[in-house]
């Protein structure tokens, strides 16, 4: 007797299912099992977390409603093992009412339910690696399994005999891969203006858990409170995990910024929350995933030089000097005044009286960038323009 039947000709003609568990460590929600439903034609997989096996019938009904609505097809056959969760009267009645044929494998022959058995084994293997890489405890296995299923549906597989992913065969559309992130990494999630006061933090430190099922957004766990957040506005730190195996501070480099922030810009209110959140995230000590480079802090910005325009009364030079000496900024302020006009371009720097010093500084900066492996040379995508940059010359205090 052949161990495997012929492949289905269309989506939902045959659905494979199997339950995995119980797990020794339950999830935070008390789930100890998971059940998978795999379409034979596309190998698209849907997974549900369970408290106990008796929930399988209800989850299958949920899967049927979802699958038939999304594909416009009807489930015809359910193939599973002989477990009580599949032979129960509730499951039998539901399948009978829907005209779904149940096919069971003989006892002690898991190889005859190979599609579902292999899928569960693959998901467990992926989830185990994800937890280990992120340095997370086993209580996160549910989040890891769900995310592994999401990713596996978007990867090409030899099981469908062509270079398409299960998601593409299931939906007829290519999956979007640009927004995929590393499971378990840390992120700063933006807090909307409606949910914070004037002096509240504009972002919260979170852990990335996966992708939202109902919104085009990500799922996070707030590190401080443990609550789960759903948001699409976040700055990811994809090399920072709870395990702490990678020190992202070592990768921090100074990159030249094309524009400088003026005092007038800094006095603007909540006009651009996104850019200000990026700066707040940089203050935490990481590089955002966006293409923009962090701005180098100049001497004028680092030192607050007392200014008569910002005082409610006139101050004498002696008073200003006394204030500056108290906070150690007098020498820095004097240096800013004494160096004269800064070069605005590389050409003007090379033509100045300090050309030799500027050249040494430029060479040192370039050597540092190469040493830290700051960039990779890659082909410019078709239709895209490279982002320009320029030198910014400043005399910095030691």
pLDDT tens per residue, range 265-278: 443 444 444 444 44
Residue 98's SS3 state is helix
Q: Which residue spans of the chain are classified as CATH 3.30.420.10?
A: 14-171
Enter the tokens of residue 393: 């010359």
Angle made by CA atoms 296, 301, 303, in degrees to the nearest 5:
125
What is the predicted pLDDT for the residue at 21?
93
- Model confidence at 386, pLDDT cuts 50, 70, 90, reads confident
What is the predicted pLDDT for the residue at 246?
45
Contact 397, 331 (CB under 8 A): yes
Weakest-pLDDT range from 33-42, 191-200, 326-335, 350-359: 326-335
Q: Is the pLDDT of residue 280 over 80?
A: no
Q: What tens digit of pLDDT does each residue of 139-155 get? A: 999 999 999 999 999 99
- Model confidence at 344, pLDDT cuts 50, 70, 90, reads confident
Q: Say which DSSP state 162 is in.
A: S
Residue scoring higher pLDDT (169 or 244) = 169
Average pLDDT, the chain: 79
- Sheet strand arrangement including 203-211: 228-231, 218-222, 203-211, 186-190, 234-237
Mean pLDDT, rounded, for 244-260: 42
Q: Is the pTM of this model over 0.75?
A: no
What CATH number belongs to 14-171? 3.30.420.10
Question: What percent of the chain clears pLDDT 70, i.e. is strictly above it?
Answer: 73
What is the predicted pLDDT for the residue at 2?
53
Q: How would you label 234-266 residue by residue, b for 16+ Cβ within 10 Å and e otherwise? A: bbbbbebbeeeeeebeeeebebebeeeeeeeee
The 10 Å Cβ neighbour count of residue 311 is 11
CA 137 to CA 391: how far, in whole Å? 46
Weakest-pLDDT range from 26-30, 139-143, 243-247, 382-386: 243-247
What is the predicted pLDDT for the residue at 263?
45
Weakest-pLDDT range from 154-168, 172-186, 287-301: 287-301
State the sign of the Cα–Cα–Cα–Cα dihedral 224, 230, 233, 235. Answer: positive
Phi-psi region of 12 (alpha: psi -120 to 50; beta: other; left: phi over 0): left
C-alpha 73 chain-centroid distance? 34
Residue scoring higher pLDDT (335 or 234) = 234
- Model confidence at 350, pLDDT cuts 50, 70, 90, reads confident
What is the predicted pLDDT for the residue at 3?
52
List residues bridging with 229 in a β-sheet.
220
CA 59 to CA 67: how far, in whole Å? 12
């Amino acid at each position: 007797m052949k161990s495997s039947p012929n492949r289905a000709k269309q989506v939902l003609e045959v659905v494979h299912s199997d339950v995995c568990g119980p797990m020794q460590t339950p999830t935070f929600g008390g789930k100890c099992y998971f059940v998978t439903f795999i379409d034979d034609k596309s190998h698209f997989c849907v997974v549900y977390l369970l408290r106990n096996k008796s929930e399988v019938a209800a989850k299958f009904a949920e899967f049927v409603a979802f699958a038939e609505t999304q594909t416009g097809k009807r489930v015809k056959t359910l193939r599973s093992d002989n477990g009580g969760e599949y032979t129960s009267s509730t499951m039998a009645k539901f399948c009978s009412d829907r005209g779904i044929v149940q096919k069971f494998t003989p006892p002690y022959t898991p190889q005859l339910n190979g599609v579902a058995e292999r899928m569960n084994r693959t998901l467990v293997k992926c989830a185990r690696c994800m937890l280990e890489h992120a340095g997370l405890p086993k209580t996160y296995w549910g989040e890891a399994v769900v995310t592994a299923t999401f990713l596996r549906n978007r990867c090409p597989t030899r099981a469908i005999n062509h270079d398409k992913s299960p998601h593409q065969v299931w939906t007829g559309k290519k999956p979007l891969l640009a927004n995929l992130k590393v499971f378990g990494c840390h992120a700063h999630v933006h807090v909307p203006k409606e949910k914070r006061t004037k002096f509240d933090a504009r972002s919260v430190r979170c852990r990335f858990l996966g992708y939202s099922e109902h919104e085009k957004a990500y799922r996070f766990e707030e590190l401080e409170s443990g609550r789960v957040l759903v948001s699409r506005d976040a700055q990811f730190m994809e090399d920072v995990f709870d395990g702490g195996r990678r020190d992202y501070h070592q990768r921090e480099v100074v990159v030249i910024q094309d524009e400088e922030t003026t005092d007038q810009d800094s006095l603007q209110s909540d006009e651009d929350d996104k850019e200000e959140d990026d700066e707040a995230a940089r203050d935490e000590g990481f590089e955002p995933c966006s293409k923009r480079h962090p701005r180098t802090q100049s001497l004028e910005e680092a030192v607050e030089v007392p200014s008569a325009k910002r005082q409610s009364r006139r101050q004498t030079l002696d008073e200003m000097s006394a204030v500056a000496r108290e906070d150690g900024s007098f020498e820095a302020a004097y240096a800013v005044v004494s160096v004269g006009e800064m070069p605005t371009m590389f050409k003007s720097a090379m033509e100045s009286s300090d050309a030799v010093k500027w050249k040494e500084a430029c060479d040192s900066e370039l050597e540092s960038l190469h040493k830290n492996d700051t960039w990779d040379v890659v082909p410019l995508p078709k239709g895209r323009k490279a982002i320009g940059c320029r030198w910014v010359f400043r005399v910095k205090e030691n």
